Amino acid sequence: MSYIDEYNKWFQSPSLSAEERAELKSIANDPKEIEDRFFAPLSFGTAGLRGIMGTGLHRMNIHVIRHATQGFASLIRALGPDAAGRGVIICYDCRKNSPLFAREAASVMAGNGIKVRIFDALRPTPELSFAIREYGAIAGINITASHNTKEYNGYKVYWEDGAQLPPEHAGAVASEMAKIDIFTGVKLKNYEKALAEGQIELIGEEIDRKFLDKVLAHAIDRECVRKAADNLKIVYTPFHGTGYRFVPEVLKKLGIKHLYPVPEQMVLDGDFPTVKSPNPEYPEGFHLAIELAREKDASLIIGTDPDSDRLGIMVKKGDNYISISGNQLGVLLMDYIINARKAAGTLPGNAAVLKSIVTTKMSDKIAHMNGVYIEDTFTGFKFMAERIKEFEASGEKKVIFSYEESYGYMVGDFVRDKDAVTASMLVAEMAASYHLKGMTLYDAMQSLYEKYGYHCEKTLNLVMPGLDGLKKMRKLMETLRTQPPKEIGGTAVLRLTDYLPGTVLDVKSGAAAESRLRGSNVLYFELEDGTDFIVRPSGTEPKIKVYIMVKGQCADDCGEKISVYEKYAKTLEG
């Protein structure tokens, strides 16, 4: 079916509301917009769906939500009555339409005879992961677009282990969706009726208490917090999102006395009116937090994204506040957790750390110097969760910390996804520990460079929106794969690992070998000077991500190398 045929099908469907039909009528003379909305469905993958909200096949709306949920329900029903009885847990964030989309998903699950537990109000992503395991549910759904801008919403899907859907199940859902008509193939049950009959159950306070108790149990050294509490000052912002309640509560229970939430950003609002993007990766979003930090003379600013799975911080340096990157915060937390647990006598003898292949190799140095096992996985906490499950089954390793450079951190294994609530608590505890030594977290980072060597990383986003962007992204990856450069930024390429087929090519000799990991669209170039240059399409946004990881004699040396490779990376935009 052509995109014009698809547009007409939607326009004529009795399932559309008057408002939706008017929206489609308004673009009747705009073929480019029609193509952009109807050229293909949003791709369903291990992270579910994510897209701009609006009416159309390639947009986030109630029809797309229902369609995806019907496909997901078919997978669950195929497992038998026990799976349907165990049911699904549904969560949502502060975004526009999130409560509506959550109710629509619940109505479809109920229409398919599947038990539903839905949170009575918005909650952080990590609590959903915890709740799935706590209730013994077969699956979970989270309506969120995480850190994306206000135009977006998403549909994250989880399996019984509390991790995002494994590839084989995501493929099964996508296959089911292809068989189902988006309007006539969906089974619905009235939400209020299903609620009254007990097929849909509201959950909240009971699981909140259990989740928060588990978070607080991961504090390592409360005594250092008690000693530092009179003088340590922390500013917090949830960027209008779900961290507004739990993060301040956890920090206060930890013992932080001087916590200053940013009032304007404690207001739940899917328009995110005080920021261009609610992403803690971007320093400009912290402008109100910086003003408050200066007023209170705080040494640390903590920010969590709208669904509270990502965490970013800014720290005081002289009279200014500077960003700590995702890689830097990861190594700070990793080093702190290992050494604090050593001091407390709680570090397992088989302790392990997991990180993604695009995360700094400085963490490898920390692990090796501290006698802790470390392993790389593909990008995505579902892959880390898989390894945790395998380690649990074998008893071989006990994972104490997992992280990605993209501001995602997971402490322990009670949650199987990024968890900014627990990470915020450990950051505050770490800040207290260094405060007692007369150090800020900026000072702490410099001390780690002195101890473990200078590493520097830069992530570039080559944004390629729309249908043309998708074509451009595919072309770039194809070119780099079939005609790989022999040098990058004037430095020879030694090896190219193509993680899709799982091959390692020695560029000089032409010899090929197999990589340990395979099945992900990532190209990993290792250069003669020790630099790693990595290219992969984002799994959730219309962009190519380029990761540059260098080692040097000092910070300036690293900075010069980053500059050279950054210039080369920008040429890939075309």
Per CATH, which fold does 327-452 belong to?
Answer: Alpha-D-Glucose-1,6-Bisphosphate; Chain A, domain 3 (3.40.120)
> pLDDT tens digit string along 32-45?
999 999 999 999 98
Q: What is the pLDDT of residue 508?
A: 87
Question: Whole-angstrom Cα distance, residue 522 to residue 501?
Answer: 10
Say whether 15 sits in a helix, a strand or coil: coil
What are the C-alpha distances in Å from 473 to residues 47, 288, 470? 19, 36, 5
Q: What is the pLDDT of residue 56?
A: 98
Same fold, 226-323 and 327-452: yes
Domain ranges of the chain: 40-210, 226-323, 327-452, 454-571
Mean pLDDT to the nearest integer, 328-339? 98
Got the DSSP string for 330-369? HHHHHHHHHHHHHHHT---TTEEEEEETTS-THHHHHHHH
> pLDDT tens digit string along 497-529?
999 999 999 998 999 999 999 999 999 999 999
Say whether 98 sits in a helix, a strand or coil: helix
Query: 146, 299, 356, 433: which is the annotated catalytic residue?
Result: 146
Instruction: Report the Cα–Cα distance between both ends of the chain, in Å, rounded.
Output: 32
Side chain identity, residue 307: D
Question: Among 238, 296, 304, which Cα is nearest to 267's?
Answer: 238
Tokens found for residue 458: 């830069």
Mean pLDDT to the nearest integer, 20-36? 97
Q: What is the pLDDT of residue 542?
A: 83
Residue 394 catalytic? no
> pLDDT tens digit string along 438-490?
999 999 999 999 999 999 999 999 998 877 888 899 999 999 999 999 999 99
Question: Whole-angstrom Cα distance, residue 95 to residue 227?
Answer: 39
Indicate the CATH number for domain 454-571: 3.30.310.50
Question: Whole-angstrom Cα distance, residue 258 to residue 107?
Answer: 44
> What letter does residue 490 receive in the DSSP assignment?
T
Question: Whole-angstrom Cα distance, residue 172 to residue 166?
Answer: 10
Indicate the CATH number for domain 226-323: 3.40.120.10
Q: Of the ranges 111-125, 440-454, 541-555, which one carries the lowest mean pLDDT score?
A: 541-555
**Interior/surface letters 93-111, b for 16+ CB within 10 angstroms, e for the rest:** bbbebbbebbbbbbbbbbb
> pLDDT tens digit string along 52-92?
999 999 999 999 999 999 999 999 999 999 999 999 999 99
pTM of the model: 0.94
Mean pLDDT to the nearest integer, 109-132? 98
Question: Whole-angstrom Cα distance, residue 245 to residue 238?
Answer: 9
Helices and strands, counts by H and E, the chain: 20, 23
Question: Among 103, 89, 67, which Cα is nearest to 157's?
Answer: 89
Q: What is the pLDDT of residue 199?
A: 98
Question: Whole-angstrom Cα distance, residue 77 to residue 134?
Answer: 21
Indicate the CATH number for domain 40-210: 3.40.120.10
